Amino acid sequence: VSMGPETNALKVSIIKTADPVKQKVFFCYYRLAKGISGILSYAKEGVRLWFRTKRPKYRQLCLKLTI
């Protein structure tokens, strides 16, 4: 994990869910594991309610016939 600011929203929210030992910690693997276990410990409906997932739009099937 790089020491720069994190841009992945899922990773940032997992790290915020975990209780950090120190506020500025660059080594965040333990925070990721603790955050994921914290989210899954009381998420009864699934992770979909925590994060808005993008669903693909329904597309109409279009067949182009050439002669």
Q: pLDDT by residue (tens digit) across 31-65? A: 677 777 777 776 566 666 666 666 667 777 777 77
Residue with more model confidence, 62 or 21 = 62
pLDDT at 34: 74
User: For 20, what's the count of Cα atoms within 13 Å in the CB-facing half-sphere?
Assistant: 13
pLDDT at 1: 46
29, 6 contact by CB (below 8 A): no
Q: Which two tokens stand for residue 49?
A: 């309610």
Instruction: Give, in order, the Cα–Cα distances in Å from 31 to each of 11, 12, 17.
Output: 10, 10, 9
32, 18 contact by CB (below 8 A): yes
